[in-house]
Structure 1
């Protein structure tokens, strides 16, 4: 099966229940907690402190394992874009500029082993797992005909989910933290990260964030992209495109990223807040 015609099985990543083997949570999990940066221009609040209940390092290790498994599956099906693929090179160039702005929102991201890969699938989707593991599906590029600015808004949004550690917070909220902590105290050993990966990693790909998480990622992603020199107005045109194609089906992205007039309105309200950052990034004076 060729790279362009492969369609990833969307059902392979269905949710299974979360199980955490967590240890030493209270003492070390607070490391890396980042409040809203003082220089933030967009209208967002402080990141959820519930994420401190889930160890970042273990979650990122689990994400790395499942990301590697996803890439291997795509490679076996000849669906993983080769290093010289023009669309992959384009995405990596855009991502490099966005990642350069990431530490403003999460200092720990300086230590992440960022990866960007392109998977051949008609599915309209993209994600960034904890620790900076990014995957983009060809469907979102081909069906939406994204400009570089619009692609930057997609990537910025996904990167923002990772930087704001929404997955950690959602997992802490969705499972009984007390049960997780007691399990963690009992499940020490070399298999701990492997257990976490087996039970959590696949859910990280399709994790449904809250409405507030989505707004947060929209706006943080908008600012990151503007600071990287991408036109903030593209955030609006991106979601206008999303809305137009939503009725056509095949929108895995919209199953976890619901669209609507309110979302576009919130972006329009915040675009003026980051215009000066964009102008500064591209060297245009007021």
Structure 2
């Protein structure tokens, strides 16, 4: 944490850096300070994410793999409709995001929620793991948590300093000749590459609470990651690329379940 803050200070003269709290802590107590470039707004990141999301949908539509499984699409959208209202517990403004939910027919074990509420599931993660509704809710809650905590904007802010350096930072903000290239790199680093393990742990906890508030059994988090552990034998799926080990995360989730169980009981 301290190193990240010092990196921000090093380029503060160019763009400025600020400590923010993107969400309330919730019952699970996620309250880590986050450091973001003040010149890079959540609105800008949401716009970049929306453009990337639409490009993915257009490519999937061209390949005739977008929303081709009607029953699955209805199922995923129904679960999303139950989870989205619960985001108010962490950040009330997120309830009014322009949420979208789509399914791509693909064997990948993957799912995501881009900044601003752009949810995407691949059919493989549901079919190959034979997920229950409660397990889908755990994955979806986890991915929504990344968007609520603005992990994408945080990653872009980090990439400007630790990955791309001040030359790219300057270009992005009109101080050089490579603004388009810098913007592309920002999207790649901040929106497309995997999240850090600390961010994944935060998403686990917030996702657990979101699903509980929506009336989904928190114990499904354990069965989900047990299934993921089985799927990770050999070549781990992309979804697990920087995630904590299944065994370690299951123990942390078990520790957190008692904190959200009253929320689940109240929502049933």
Q: TM-score, normalised by structure 1?
A: 0.78
Q: Does 1:55 align with 2:52?
A: no
Task: Confirm or deny: 8 A CA contact 1:36 1:47 kept in the other structure.
Answer: no
Alignment of 1:124-139 (within 5 A): 124-139=109-124
Q: How big is the shift at 1:46?
A: 2.8
Q: Relative to structure 1, is the Cα distance of residues 254 and 213 closer, same or farther in structure 2, using a 3 angstrom cutoff? A: same
The separation in 1 between residues aligned to 2:182 and 2:81, in whole angstroms, is 29
The separation in 1 between residues aligned to 2:232 and 2:49, in whole angstroms, is 29
Give 3-state SS (helix, strand or coil) of 1:73's partner: helix
1:183 corresponds to which of 166, 171, 178: 171
Paired position in structure 2 for 1:272? 258
The list of structure 1 runs, each at least 4 consecutive aligned residues, that deviate by more than 4 angstroms after superposition, is 177-181, 194-197, 202-205
Q: Relative to structure 1, is the Cα distance of residues 76 and 144 closer, same or farther in structure 2, using a 3 angstrom cutoff? A: same
Paired position in structure 2 for 1:172? 157
TM-superposition CA deviations, 1:58-77 (whole Å, max 9, x none): 11111111111111111111
Paired position in structure 2 for 1:80? 66
Paired position in structure 2 for 1:14? none
Give 3-state SS (helix, strand or coil) of 1:186's partner: coil
TM-superposition CA deviations, 1:129-148 (whole Å, max 9, x none): 11111110011001110000
Structure 2 unpaired stretches of 5+? 1-13
Q: Does 1:102 align with 2:87?
A: yes
Q: Comparing 232-241 with 164-173, which one deviates more in the overlay?
A: 164-173
The separation in 1 between residues aligned to 2:29 and 2:199, in whole angstroms, is 13
Give 3-state SS (helix, strand or coil) of 1:70's partner: helix
Paired position in structure 2 for 1:121? 106
Task: Confirm or deny: 8 A CA contact 1:66 1:197 kept in the other structure.
Answer: no
Q: Comparing 138-147 with 258-267, which one deviates more in the overlay?
A: 258-267
Q: How big is the shift at 1:170?
A: 1.6
Q: Comparing 164-173 with 121-130, which one deviates more in the overlay?
A: 164-173
Paired position in structure 2 for 1:11? none
Paired position in structure 2 for 1:222? 208
Q: Relative to structure 1, is the Cα distance of residues 114 and 196 closer, same or farther in structure 2, using a 3 angstrom cutoff? A: farther
Q: How big is the shift at 1:205?
A: 5.3
Task: Confirm or deny: 8 A CA contact 2:22 2:148 kept in the other structure.
Answer: no
The separation in 2 between residues aligned to 1:87 and 1:51, in whole angstroms, is 39
Q: How big is the shift at 1:197?
A: 6.0
Give 3-state SS (helix, strand or coil) of 1:127's partner: strand
Q: Relative to structure 1, is the Cα distance of residues 205 and 114 closer, same or farther in structure 2, using a 3 angstrom cutoff? A: same
Task: Confirm or deny: 8 A CA contact 1:242 1:259 kept in the other structure.
Answer: no
1:239 corresponds to which of 225, 228, 242: 225
